[in-house]
Structure 1
């Protein structure tokens, strides 16, 4: 009898996509996989919901179960941070999740694997006696810091915000400027949002094990730290399994090819700078103009995914967005499109990022440092320029530049404005200089390591086999 693993990603596209890649690993090992999805409480007009639909449609071997929708929180009038309302909503879904888990015969139900934000589901599993594991869709280094943080915050009289860029020392990672931690964790430790987040991270390591979307040689120091009994004094952490990089394969059919790939086909190898900032990455008109000037002055070929700054509906602040149609001529410097038409390609919607990064013509990736994008850059062997914006992206920037050696930072990200001269200089550095050549060599080496980790007998393959074996022994 085949056993069923239930995956519960909870959040948006950045959480669903890597969990679908994890689903493929379970399928390869002979398990049935069921993924529980929620109706998103925020109907954003970006590509997130469409991307989830596209990924669901292209994974027929996974069965999907959408929980009946609960009333969405009243974001406009509650006065609470939307993230707190989302956590509350996830908690309310516990009853429906329990009903679904009860519908699977207990002897067939292998385990529930939860996303980093679905920690309240641990209580459902405790009640039903179902093994529960965390899937941490970011890297081991971030997990290491977030695991050590509650102890670090305990007893503090003030928030970390006032430390500014003071480097903080956590085990297993490079010194981390306080300002680079997730923004909400910088508030006073008694602040409701800070407490809720810290408690959420704490519960991530209260499951029977943590599967992490990374590979051992990429973040070996952090992985060793999390296995050290001294990592969090007085707390026994569960086993950590590095099972990544879990990255999509890109389009398989020629018919699916985006026109930007056709344009790339006619460019020389390693000659194109690719700029893409994730599903939420938007800039002011002033910043877009500055990027255009920097790109033009660099003299390099480029593909640039340009997204408009959102306009907001009063009361909802930035959480429900209306995106105006993009008038490129109004945004860019006069004549920019004509002057760069032979060496530039502008995308105003979705771009097939994995395919673009793996194309031989792509030479540099300017990224917001979301973990999925970071892994896509690493597995393509493309050096990166870091322009982090929110969530854990500034932390990722530190690891990418100081630890992994695959990236260079764009100065100005921390004050929310990167100047044209800075972009031009760093693009030239990566594309034309000796330092850039060394960066490319390190990136190519990391790509090989990533491939080796996933091969049979590689570290990530072995970690997954170990996880299955440990889960089996738990069940006996």
Structure 2
């Protein structure tokens, strides 16, 4: 895998340009980096096209006959009142970590929608737990948790329609592992984030989210590999009820406005998208000569 990735990165340095699903205002430092001499020695990648961010509509399942039941549940709740704890396709949390988050959420007293996945398989310290492809919530969550929180929380197994939930008026904050597509979707939906990065580029994304763009707050326990219940409780309350949460929402709204402006007629993302095929055509003619 390492050799394959190194070969891919080498090929990337040979490209004539990069097409990105983002707006330059959202990631100006990252966008400028490949244009400088330090990114790829002896080479400057001049053609970078920021053509987003996508609004996520393409990720919705338009053919789904019935609206997901979690959205029906959200319909009855106040605006910006729930915490969305979002699962990921890879990097599932351990059973011990799931229990710790559950205790913190219960103690916070906040409403929540939680998409729970089966813990990571062979790497999980809880190998003795007999959980299949669909998680056994009675085993994974603290005893009595579902009953005690049923009036303010909904736990779904494995999957929830992420973009639909993010864009719902009831969603107040999302706990995310900081995959960049999810980050952009949250910004487009005006939802601030709690960061729990796990692997790959997610920790680097966390820095951009909290320091550069200012739309998220980190759960600091990730640096020790485990988030304690006290921090979950405190940070959730802070974002939903506190002044810090109000400031985060204001910054997310401002970033959303920038993203919308980039995609308007004459905006930089549409201009870049229009320029891309022209440059491809021009380059093709040069190579043909």
**TM-score normalised according to structure 1 size:** 0.55
Shift, 1:230, TM fit:
5.5
Partner of 1:427: 236
| 1:262 alignment partner, one of 72, 75, 82 | 72
Note the alpha carbon deviations across 1:84-122, whole angstroms, 9 max, x for none. 2xxxxxxxxxxxxxxxxxxxxxxxxxxxxxxxxxxxxxx
CA distance in 1, matches of 2:6, 2:106: 44
Partner of 2:103: 293
Which structure has the larger Rg over C-alpha atoms? 1
**Pairing 1:471–2:280 present:** yes
Partner of 1:235: 43
Partner of 1:403: 212
Unaligned runs of 5+ in 1: 1-83, 85-192, 314-321
Partner of 1:344: 153
| 1:362 alignment partner, one of 147, 171, 174 | 171
CA distance in 2, matches of 1:303, 1:417: 21
1:242, 1:463 within 8 Å by CA — same for their partners in 2? yes
| 1:283 alignment partner, one of 93, 115, 122 | 93
CA distance in 2, matches of 1:403, 1:329: 40
**Pairing 1:218–2:29 present:** no
1:251, 1:257 within 8 Å by CA — same for their partners in 2? no
Residue 262 of structure 1 aligns to a residue in which SS? helix
| 2:121 alignment partner, one of 303, 311, 329 | 311
Partner of 1:383: 192
| 1:202 alignment partner, one of 3, 6, 10 | 10
CA distance in 2, matches of 1:244, 1:408: 24
Partner of 1:165: none
Q: 1:199 to 1:254 in 2, by over 3 A?
A: closer
CA distance in 1, matches of 2:96, 2:142: 10
Shift, 1:331, TM fit:
2.1
1:205, 1:238 within 8 Å by CA — same for their partners in 2? no
Count of aligned pairs between the two proteins: 276
CA distance in 1, matches of 2:40, 2:156: 46
1:281, 1:307 within 8 Å by CA — same for their partners in 2? no
Partner of 2:84: 274
For residues 41-80 of structure 1, the aligned pairs below 5 Å read none
Unaligned runs of 5+ in 2: 124-130
Residue 240 of structure 1 aligns to a residue in which SS? strand
Partner of 2:54: 246
State the Cα RMSD in Å.
2.0
CA distance in 2, matches of 1:430, 1:215: 26
Shift, 1:352, TM fit:
0.5
Shift, 1:231, TM fit:
4.5
Residue 351 of structure 1 aligns to a residue in which SS? coil
CA distance in 2, matches of 1:231, 1:291: 39
1:247, 1:372 within 8 Å by CA — same for their partners in 2? no
Higher relative contact order (CA 8 A, sep 6+): 2
Q: 1:475 to 1:301 in 2, by over 3 A?
A: same
CA distance in 2, matches of 1:371, 1:361: 23
Note the alpha carbon deviations across 1:36-83, whole angstroms, 9 max, x for none. xxxxxxxxxxxxxxxxxxxxxxxxxxxxxxxxxxxxxxxxxxxxxxxx
**TM-score normalised according to structure 2 size:** 0.89
Residue 114 of structure 2 aligns to a residue in which SS? strand
Shift, 1:251, TM fit:
4.6
Note the alpha carbon deviations across 1:409-458, whole angstroms, 9 max, x for none. 00111222101111111111111111110000001111111122122211
1:311, 1:323 within 8 Å by CA — same for their partners in 2? no
2:34, 2:44 within 8 Å by CA — same for their partners in 1? no
Note the alpha carbon deviations across 1:369-394, whole angstroms, 9 max, x for none. 01111111111110000001111111
CA distance in 1, matches of 2:258, 2:145: 40
